Amino acid sequence: MASNETHYVLDRPSFDKPVKVLIVVSPYYKQIADQLVTGAKAEIEAAGGTWDLIEVPGALEIPTAIGISERLSNFDGYVALGCVVRGETTHYETVCNDSSRALTMLGLQGLCIGNGILTVENMDQATVRAKADGQNKGGGAAAAALHLIALTRKWGASRKGVGFRPSDDAYQLASD
């Protein structure tokens, strides 16, 4: 069982200016979601950051909400929180795979996302993983987002958009 394993945890990043993080949670399993959110908030605040919180109906809506927010707001990063418990149908695989894949795709586009969507066999596993004073997967997801934000700030300014940018020589020619 993973709870018996020792894991290396990176030091908390520090920031010259505060970070602003959006926590997107599906409260489908409310008690689990509340624990995940508690852990995420505490980690963001410990790094000197601020957070906002929105709720969506289910895990599949989390990546869509993050994508909308990225287009229409100004958050430095995102924390995706929720819980998917295996049931009697293949819906579990669809929700787990598609929500994870969508978050990965957003991350590959440059968004700083910590994925704290639990995928478990039963509620006992969810409870152990979610507790803020236990495995604290909500805090871990927030820490992941903070580390990605730190990398983004280390390597340059925030840039929106993708595409062709003419060389500086082209700007000079255009102004002549």
Kindly list the catalytic residues: 91
- Distance between terminal CA atoms of the chain? 68
Measured distance CA(123)–CA(173) in Å, rounded: 65
- DSSP track, the chain: -GGGS----PPPP--SS--EEEEEE--SSHHHHHHHHHHHHHHHHHTT-EEEEEE-SSTTHHHHHHHHHHHHS--SEEEEEEEEE--SSTHHHHHHHHHHHHHHHHHHTT--EEEEEEEESSHHHHHHHH-TTTT-HHHHHHHHHHHHHHHHHHH-------S----HHHHHHHH-
